[in-house]
Amino acid sequence: MALKGVKVLELVGLAPAPFCGMILSDFGATVTRIDKISQNPMDTLKDGKRNIALNLKQSEGRKIVRELCKKSDVLIEPYRPGIMEKLQLGPDILMKENPKLIYARLTGFGQSGPLAQRAGHDINYLALSGVLSFLGRKGEKPTAPVNLLADFAGGGLLCAFGILAALLARQKTGRGQIVDSAMVEGAAYVASFLTRSQTLPIWGKGRGENMLDTGSFFYDTYETKDGKFMSVGCLEPQFFDTMVKTLGLEGQLTQSEDNEKGRKVLEETFRRRTQKEWSEIFEKTDSCVFPVLHWTEAPEHPQNRLRNAFVDKKDSSDVVVPNPSPKLSDTPPSSSLLRGERDEWENIQEILNEIDYDVDKIKQLVEKGVVLTTRKGKL
């Protein structure tokens, strides 16, 4: 795999940092998680990672992190600015001990500025990035699109990209560097097309009044007879004409139609058949009309099955998960889910053996509460 041989240390955090680590793991990196507790039921992105729970309030716990960083290529930390410095694990110390270390800091507001120490969540980061003002229908309040844009696209994904860029730069300079990834800035960057297109016909109007934000009746979703939905994205005239013909509306509807009238016609038309019926009707047309699949239905769609878009295995929560994307022809990624969970004690021993801790030393650390494990007392 593309990142085989790259060693990553990931300090436990909320979803953006584990997602960043998951991406690197899926593409071949060896990712070691530093947890706060030995079992974390909220962590759904831990598959394929080695993990060890450490008490970082104890100096010996912090020493383990320092020793691991000496042998790592990347550190991912998701804490507020200053926390790592208080633990004596800041970049000034760790990068002095390992000048090649990529020190990735993933936070909402970044390492500087008046809000750097403030708490926030995806909706707040979207709000301050300006992106949330784009999202929603005409006459309605801004609508947060679950926590995808800031946490994952602008956060975990862009942080992973920053890490890869830093690794590539290291090949030229021989030095590591700090990756300061702020979700506010990441969300704004993801929305570059929107902000740069305000003078174009497709944007520039109020929320919900533009061509690509449901302001046009031919770019929206429509309910079907069975209460499901079809997505319509007929922006180009040729696709619109094909849709109209397929719906049997020739001569009744044009792309320059009044939006309210056009939307009413499509609403009435799509309610006449079920989603399955409309899907079969549009299946062989090139009209940009597709069913809105429930997330549990998506893995079974013929396109997704043929492309192996989802892992042919369920996770511990009995959920089918997506395969890594994009696909690489020579060094393809592999879902970390397929590697499954390893035995906790095997993980602990393997990780600490790499920094020359023997079994007796490890058992001492467990007894002292430095290394946390559910098997304490059974060793």
Catalytically active residues, by annotation: 121, 151
Give the Cα separation of 335 and 315 in Å (integer): 11
Contact present, 98 and 74 (Cβ < 8 Å): no
CB atoms within 10 A of CB 366: 18
Peptide bond into 237 cis (omega under 30): no
Give the Cα separation of 131 and 200 in Å (integer): 18
Up-side HSE of residue 60: CA atoms within 13 Å toward CB? 14
Contact present, 287 and 243 (Cβ < 8 Å): yes
Residues 6+ apart with CB under 8 A from 298: 304, 309, 310
Query: What are the residues facing 75 on neighbouring strands?
Result: 9, 103
Listing DSSP states for 252-272 in one string gives T--TTS-HHHHHHHHHHHHTT
Give the Cα separation of 25 and 19 in Å (integer): 10
Query: What are the residues facing 221 on neighbouring strands?
Result: 231
Contact present, 10 and 32 (Cβ < 8 Å): yes
User: Helix, strand, or coil here: 49?
Assistant: coil
Smallest Cα–Cα separation from 1: which of 313, 339, 359, 353? 339
Phi, psi of 268 (to 5 degrees): -65, -40
